[in-house]
Structure 1
Amino acid sequence: MADEETAAPHARPGERAAELAANLAAVEERLAAACAAAGRARDEVTLIVVTKTYPAADVRLLAELGVRHVAENKVQEAAPKAEACADLPLTWHFVGQLQTNKARAVARFCDYVHSVDRPRLVTALSTAAERHDRELRCLLQVALDKDLGTGGADSAAAVGDRGGLAPADVPALADAVADAPRLTLAGLMTVAPLTGRYAGDPRAAFERLRDISRELRGTAPGATMVSAGMSGDLEDAVRAGATHVRVGTAVLGVRPRLG
């Protein structure tokens, strides 16, 4: 999944804390306004701060500012960061594409995996969760580029590196998660697609995810999470019924590209 780009700035701790506090306040204002516009209570939407490329020191500052949900998208960065912050009251989310051989590492520290998109990964996560004697909550990542039901589907290759399964494949994979030991089906996740019918229209994309979620809850009533929206489109996600938004840049600052 491509959340937001790379590389972190350097700042003195006091300056960085003030910067993060101001950014969090601005995001909170946006969320509150979006919820009000959608006729929703603010506590219906959980903010997940995507801390990829930023140090554990920033995670600690965020925790001091009241953040309780953080996300990472690379196992090699996430695992040591989570270990360094193990004393904090945090819920860890993994939001990136996940190779099956990295499932064991993710199961060691993560509470939620947002990018479940194939049966082999379900098996790997279940085995890893059993090994670590933990419970993992899984979200199915839906690739709306592959939505055959809309007449605007692209080939799997056109989806690029964001991962995800076609909406038509959601019921079968949901059953696989529900049947897997130590896994709980928590809901669905998507990233606004770059190609296909919904390209450039995140609100329509998130509304489609909402509809798929409603269908899923007919057979899996506990799968209530709808993870959608990032820094640039969180308002569209809230309007469409997202329960969780994944925000990185708007909280931590713009990540300059490397190179």
Structure 2
Amino acid sequence: MTPTTSSDPAARRAELAANLAEVRERIAAACAAAGRDPGDVTLVAVTKTFPASDVRLLAGLGLAQVAENRDQEAAPKAAECADLDLTWHFVGQLQTNKAKSVASYAGVVQSVDRPRLVRALAQAAGAADRTVRCLVQVSLDEGEGRGGADPADVPSLADAIAAADGLELGGVMAVAPLGADPRPAFERLARVANEVRLSHPGATIMSAGMSGDLESAIACGATHVRVGTALLGGRSAIVR
């Protein structure tokens, strides 16, 4: 993985291509170890703090799933890349007053963690005449302040999403606790995901795993991994 970015488009493309090949090799190896088909795992590129030019390069390399965690960065970047056939994922904590903006470009909101946000997104999606796929963000830690619904509240929140006009229940998402073995947390998420699927068979997404723990997530059944640093380098780039 290359920790810095290049201002030369050809060199940057080569960097991203090398990083992408390495990440795909990791996904393939993790799937082989788990007895899974690599085609069942979707790679989502987390492009926060990186420019739209990088999004274009990744799209040229075959990546169509892109994630952002701040609306004030995501909205203009999505507009700049509107000519590309991309699915934008919103993965950060989302305030209800940003729901209208996010629903205008995001095909997937992975961080739905409370009923009020469900209502705000449904209203926004309806006004924009769009259907937004939503994942219930599940809290797997205590007091880390990264959002997420208590596992006990996930079924009712999933029901609310499934019943809302303009929204589609996709499944669940979580971030592993900091500084701990991620495997137990991802195993817990898998149990929550299975519970949701009992009531909503179409909610097949389990979004888990990032640059440092995607192998553990895949071993536990993740269908989507959200990778930033391993693809794009360290988070020191300035959006341009």
Return the TM-score normalized by structure 1: 0.88
- 1:208 alignment partner AA: R
1:211 maps to what in 2? 191
Q: CA–CA distance in 2 between the matches of 1:208 and 1:225? A: 15
Percent of paired sites with the same residue: 65
SS for the counterpart of 1:111 is strand
1:187 maps to what in 2? 171
Contact 2:103 2:124 in 1 (8 A): yes
The yes-or-no answer on 1:177 pairing with 2:161 is yes
Q: CA–CA distance in 2 between the matches of 1:204 and 1:45? A: 20
- 1:229 alignment partner AA: G
Shift of 1:52: 0.4
1:68 maps to what in 2? 64
Shift of 1:111: 0.3
Q: CA–CA distance in 1 between the matches of 2:119 and 2:177? A: 27
- 1:173 alignment partner AA: L
The yes-or-no answer on 1:224 pairing with 2:204 is yes
Unaligned runs of 5+ in 1: 1-7, 146-153
The yes-or-no answer on 1:43 pairing with 2:39 is yes
The yes-or-no answer on 1:82 pairing with 2:78 is yes
- 1:70 alignment partner AA: V
User: Runs ≥4 in structure 1, deviation > 4 angstroms?
Assistant: none
SS for the counterpart of 1:49 is strand
The yes-or-no answer on 1:106 pairing with 2:102 is yes
The yes-or-no answer on 1:255 pairing with 2:239 is no
Paired residues, what number? 235
Contact 2:162 2:168 in 1 (8 A): yes
SS for the counterpart of 1:159 is coil
- 2:50 alignment partner AA: Y
- 2:177 alignment partner AA: P
Contact 2:158 2:169 in 1 (8 A): yes
1:159 corresponds, among 144, 148, 159, to: 144
The yes-or-no answer on 1:237 pairing with 2:221 is no
1:144 maps to what in 2? 140
1:57 maps to what in 2? 53
2:126 maps to what in 1? 130
Q: CA–CA distance in 1 between the matches of 2:157 and 2:44? A: 25
C-alpha RMSD of the superposition: 1.3
Q: CA–CA distance in 1 between the matches of 2:210 and 2:184? A: 15
- 1:184 alignment partner AA: E
SS for the counterpart of 1:230 is coil
SS for the counterpart of 1:143 is coil
1:24 corresponds, among 20, 26, 29, to: 20
- 1:187 alignment partner AA: G
2:115 corresponds, among 98, 116, 119, to: 119
Return the TM-score normalized by structure 2: 0.95
Unaligned runs of 5+ in 2: none
- 2:192 alignment partner AA: I
The yes-or-no answer on 1:168 pairing with 2:139 is no
Shift of 1:210: 0.6
SS for the counterpart of 1:222 is coil
